[in-house]
Amino acid sequence: MKITLNPLMLVLKTCPPIALSSLMIWAMGNNAACAADPASLFPKTGVLLGAYAEPKTNTAEQATMMLENEIGRRFCLDHQYYQWQDGIPTSYETWTASQGRIPFVAWKPKDTNDLSPIRWSVITNGVWDWWITNRASAFKQFEQLTLMTFHHEPENDQDTPGVTNYGTAEEYQAAFRHVVSLFRDQGVTNVIWAVVLTQPSYTNPATGGRMQADRWYPGDDVVDVIGCDGYNWYPRDTNAVWTPFTNVFSGFYAWGTNNHQKPLVVAEFGCMEDTNNPNAKADWFAEIPNTIQQWPAVKAVCYFNFTNRPYPWNLDSSPASLAAFHAMGMNPYVYPPRPVTLNCVLSSGFATLQIMGGIGSTCQIEYADSPASTHWTTLTNVTLCNSPSVFVDSNPATGVLQRFYRCP
């Protein structure tokens, strides 16, 4: 971010990206801002571990904290699911962001009141533009970096012969593009958009799968991140065979890296116990770090911690499975330094730096007179105990016309 100094105040001139952690900047109440860069969401090396924590009889907040207590660490991504008229971002997103997690919001066009489908063509035709722009404004005011998908697993909800559901693949693409465009028109810069399809849609036809991803992909210009939901369905599904994590997601990885230069996210994954082998699920978890280290395009994995029968995905289904998940989560590649976003609020005389996310890590704030500088001066090292953390650069150097900040 480029800042010009005069004797009275800091004035925003331009806003070039200067570091992976730099997200946006405001000047004296104006809404001039850099667009969100997906790279600001992810570490340079390693993956973020996230989860959906089923509330059961608890609140969503309690469910998340209880699951974190079980595995002995904080999740980086917090995956939550909402229907169409839900007032996203909710107070839950405010809470989880304040805890240092990045909200991962799945927004489905299912009527909140009667759970009926809101067809994709209706959305594209503008009937709901008022509501989409309303939610866009809410996310803009929310300010926290958010990973978001419009209608995850759309291929499971398409029209079929004799059944009217949400529509066709082409209508889904158009609706996705329409929603993203309306958010951008509102100047929303903190939402990063993911398309999330199911594992069979990415599978190579040579292996007997259905290559559907091309039909459903909305386009590189509106998709920031490509996601996949995949599971080991053994032993509950008829004809299912035990499928290692590598086999579940190899088709997704091949499609994503061969067709698009986008970060990849395992948006949901899960495994059930093998009644014939009490260590099988634990071994399934144990394989994950080695696999994803060979897949550098994968930047995050989110577990679907759901316990309802007949699909008991819960990671604590046995002591061995819980221990293996804990070990997986503590692997350095799965527990990299937490990414942060750095906002600079311009006020009279000084720059106030707001550091969001990354709770539990240390942020080294640096400055230079050019984003291309080879000499960055350290202002301070901040241990992030809450989000946002605040640092005021109350002693700017005199005679400097530009100051660029970063938190690498």
What is each CA distance from 232 to 33, 74, 199, 324, in whole angstroms? 43, 25, 11, 16
The Cα angle at residue 224 between residues 222 and 227, in degrees rounded to 5: 110
Q: Which two tokens stand for residue 336?
A: 């990299």
Return the pLDDT at 186.
95
Please tell me the distance from the alpha carbon of residue 41 to that of residue 369, in angstroms, as a whole number. 25
Please tell me the distance from the alpha carbon of residue 370 to that of residue 403, in angstroms, as a whole number. 7
Return the pLDDT at 16.
24
Q: Which fold has domain 44-330?
A: TIM Barrel (3.20.20)
Return the pLDDT at 14.
21
DSSP 3-state of 23 = strand
- Residue 278 host element (H or E): none
The DSSP-derived string for 239-272 is T-----HHHHHHHHHHHHHHH----EEEEEEEE-
Please tell me the distance from the alpha carbon of residue 233 to that of residue 235, in angstroms, as a whole number. 6
Please tell me the distance from the alpha carbon of residue 111 to that of residue 18, in angstroms, as a whole number. 42
Contact predicate 390/356, CB 8 Å: no
Sorted by where each begins, the domain ranges of the chain are 2-38+342-406, 44-330
Angle between helix 280-293 and helix 319-330 axes, rounded to 10 deg = 10
Return the pLDDT at 21.
29
Contact predicate 200/210, CB 8 Å: yes
Length of the chain as a residue count: 408
Angle between helix 60-71 and helix 91-98 axes, rounded to 10 deg = 30
Return the pLDDT at 25.
27
Q: Tell me the residue type at 218.
A: P
Return the pLDDT at 390.
82
Please tell me the distance from the alpha carbon of residue 405 to that of residue 179, in angstroms, as a whole number. 33
Contact predicate 138/182, CB 8 Å: no
Q: Which residues contact 206 (CB under 8 A, 6 or more apart)?
A: none
Ranges of the chain whose pLDDT falls below 70: 1-36, 204-210, 339, 345-349, 359-360, 387, 396-402
What phi and psi values does residue 191 have, to the nearest 5 degrees? -105, 125
Return the pLDDT at 43.
85
What is each CA distance from 266 to 61, 83, 187, 230, 246, in whole angstroms? 23, 21, 28, 8, 12
Return the pLDDT at 266.
98
Q: Which residues contact 258 (CB under 8 A, 6 or more apart)?
A: none
pTM of the model: 0.82
Q: Which two tokens stand for residue 94?
A: 């405010």
- Please give the span between the terminal C-alpha atoms of the chain, in angstroms, as a whole number: 14
| Bridge partner list, 271 | 232
Return the pLDDT at 30.
26
